[in-house]
Amino acid sequence: MVFNFYKPTVNYGSWADRFSSTWTFLLLLILALLTVWRHYRGPNFICKTPEQFPRYWNDFTDESCWLSRQVIPFEPLGQGSFSDSENLNMLVVMNDKDSANENSTRTLYQWLPLILCLQALLFMLPDIFLRICESSFGFGCQKLSKMIQDYRQYSADDRKHFAMEIGSYLHQQFSERLLRVLPFGILTVLLAFVKLLFFLNAATQLIILEGYLSPQNVTSYGEYVFESIINTNYSTIAYSPVFPREVLCRREFVQVSNVHLYMFQCLVPVNEFNEQICFFVWIWLLVVCIAAGTSGMLFLVKSLLPMVKQRYIKKYLSMSNISVTSAEVSSFSGTTIGLDGVMVLKMIGDISSDILVKDIVIQIWNIHKSKQLQNMVSVQQTPSNQEHMTGSASGDQHVTNLTPAASPEMIAMEKTGV
């Protein structure tokens, strides 16, 4: 039930859209839950405190530094302020608070689960937008998908009757669609726009994450890590500045009426896990960008080439041994069904089977030919009516038969029950 809820409807057959809206959404939610569990389980901060501190002071220091929104990145020995080993236990902060906060930086790694949830929501928004717009301007594909899911449970006669009803309904919808004179319709425009949204969403998140993770003097974080792994230079891989491994934490301890200010050297082991999660998300977003871009280009090419939809329709007409010319297929697929109709039929085939699509196409074809014959009859009746009216006005008693002889095509249509 959960997977059926998150499946796209109109773009059900597009693996790239499912990859973006369904699998990426679920993956980011799983990573968010995994990150919450890791943060809850700990340890997150391990601070070095003086020996005279009791145990509960040590625990308080670790938790308060983890919850702190502002820390100072620690410079290793030989590169910064710690050259005296006696000062590693505890540093008393200067009285000037502003000078202590000059080199401090704000932390965001506590918010990583919420950030992952927000990313997951952004990948669902294009599909939600498509569902809302399609239900308002489309062909009711969500209702069709629910009806078609029970198709396999019907008997043979019920399947034929069901296909005829769906075919008649779709023919009416195709006849009333917007932008009928153009090779594409409103549904095609919606799908193209949604594919563009998927690509822009993934690319924007990738660019932001790239700038968020990249160390100084590194243009591409992913390329830098991959090159280091290929060259087996694991020890030289610099960690991301937003996930420091060692920090300085400034804390205040109140005893009676005295306030003691301390600065502790702390390890942040949870940031190793956080950075690995973000690096995996970086790789995943890169794959999503490639998939969304490729899918969008293929969709654009297929939409602009009329031969694609003509071959699709002709395949199902040939399955029923109906001989048609290229001109008839072009007129039927371009005017009657259109590109929007082809997409709806593909959705039906992906959800159900090609047999149902074949029966629906045959029903639409029969209605299409029947209307063509009716138009031919009306055209033939018009000059006959004019001749009859002219003869009556001149006093001629000759009566003209207004009913033309039935054509072989009409006889064949009547035998099929159309």
Q: What is the pLDDT of residues 384-397, one digit of tens each?
A: 555 555 554 444 44
Predicted confidence (pLDDT) at residue 406 exceeds the cutoff of 60: no
Q: Of 270, 278, 259, which Cα lies nearest the Cα of 62? A: 270
Report the share of the chain in percent with pLDDT over 90: 13
Distance of alpha carbon 268 from alpha carbon 44, whole angstroms: 6
Q: What mean pLDDT comes out for the span 267-286? A: 90
Reported confidence tier of residue 184, pLDDT bands at 50, 70, 90: low
Q: What mean pLDDT comes out for the span 232-251? A: 75
Please give the model's pTM, rounded to 2 decimal places.
0.74
Decide: residue 64, CB within 10 A, 0-12 exposed, 13-18 middle, 19+ buried. Answer: middle
Predicted confidence (pLDDT) at residue 144 exceeds the cutoff of 90: no
Chain centroid to CA 398: 71
Q: What mean pLDDT comes out for the span 91-112? A: 57
Give the pLDDT score at 26. Answer: 93
Give the pLDDT score at 347. Answer: 82
Q: What mean pLDDT comes out for the span 380-384? A: 61
Predicted confidence (pLDDT) at residue 119 exceeds the cutoff of 90: yes
Q: Hey, what amino acid is at 193?
A: F
Reported confidence tier of residue 206, pLDDT bands at 50, 70, 90: very high
Give the pLDDT score at 36. Answer: 93
Give the pLDDT score at 409. Answer: 47
Q: What is the pLDDT of residues 336-379, one digit of tens each?
A: 787 888 888 888 887 777 888 888 888 888 888 887 777 777 76
Give the pLDDT score at 404. Answer: 43
Reported confidence tier of residue 285, pLDDT bands at 50, 70, 90: very high
Reported confidence tier of residue 263, pLDDT bands at 50, 70, 90: confident
Give the pLDDT score at 418. Answer: 43
Least confident of 61-70, 113-122, 199-208: 61-70
HEC string of the chain equals: CHHHHHCCCCCCCCHHHHHHHHHHHHHHHHHHHHHHHHHHHCCCCEEECCCCCCHHHHHHHHHHHHHCCEEEECCCCCCCCCCCHHHHCCEECCCCHHHHHCCCEECCHHHHHHHHHHHHHHHHHHHHHHHHHHHHHCCCHHHHHHHHCCHHHCCHHHHHHHHHHHHHHHHHHHHCCCCCCCCCCHHHHHHHHHHHHHHHHHHHHHHHHHHHHCCCCCCCHHHHHHHHHHCCCHHHCCCCCCCCCEEEEEEEEEECCEEEEEEEEEECCHHHHHHHHHHHHHHHHHHHHHHHHHHHHHHHHHHHCHHHHHHHHHHHHHHCCCCCCHHHHHHHHHHHHHHHHHHHHHHHHHHCCHHHHHHHHHHHHHHHHHHHHHHHHHHHHHHHHHHHHHHHHCCCCCCCCCCCCCCHHHHHHHHCCC
- Higher-pLDDT residue of 239, 112: 112
Q: What mean pLDDT comes out for the span 133-151? A: 72
Q: Hey, what amino acid is at 350?
A: D
Give the pLDDT score at 355. Answer: 84
Give the pLDDT score at 297. Answer: 92
Give the pLDDT score at 198. Answer: 93
Phi, psi of 91 (to 5 degrees): -120, 130
Cis link prior to 244 (omega < 30° from 0)?
Answer: no
